[in-house]
Amino acid sequence: MVLELLIAEDNKFTSTQYKKFLESKGYKVTIFNDGAKCLEKFTNELRYRRVVLKDKSSPYHCVLLDHDMPKMNGSEVYEKIRKICPEQKVVFLSAYGQTILKSQEGTREASLQIIQKPFSLDFLLKKIEPKSFVSIKRTNVNDGILTATQSSETIR
């Protein structure tokens, strides 16, 4: 079974690195460079699954969001996804972890993670593996939202 990822990242170099690496690990990756296009794709895929396929599951294994993007930031995308598909797993990949935490005050979602940039691609892979959402070592939990940072010594 191929796991599908939806990624919103406005930095072309970064998004290319994510795509190449994750596809080499067997994931099917769809990338958009702004939050609005990402949300549109998510909404269309959710509608297709629910109406045509009669499938109530989340359309993606995981949605990976940068925070600062044109048209719609990651927090706005997350809020809209959460309203229409609360069980969808979302991981923020951002240098602005504290900003995200503040925007999500009062949220206690097991389906939300924040990975603080910079990080290695291997670190990302470990955090999005299916088992990581079930039995993750919680390195820092604020109001139920997992945040993970990789030590600078291990980043390559």
Q: Which domain holds residue 114?
A: 4-154
Question: Rounded mean pLDDT of 53-61?
Answer: 93
Question: Rounded mean pLDDT of 144-155?
Answer: 47
Give residue 116's pLDDT band: very low, low, confident or very high (50, 70, 90).
confident
Distance CA 122, CA 132 (A): 13
Q: How many domains does the chain have?
A: 1
Q: Is the peptide bond before 130 cis (omega within 30 degrees of 0)?
A: no
Q: DSSP state, 128?
A: H
Question: Rounded mean pLDDT of 6-27?
Answer: 96
Question: Rounded mean pLDDT of 84-107?
Answer: 74
E-assigned strand segments in 23-75: 28-32, 62-65
Q: Is the pTM of this model over 0.95?
A: no
Q: What is the pLDDT of residue 103?
A: 53
Give residue 135's pLDDT band: very low, low, confident or very high (50, 70, 90).
very low
**CATH number of 46's domain:** 3.40.50.2300
Distance CA 68, CA 133 (A): 24
Nearest to 114 by CA among 100, 102, 129: 100
Q: What is the pLDDT of residue 111?
A: 63
Question: What element of type H or E holds 50?
Answer: helix 35-51
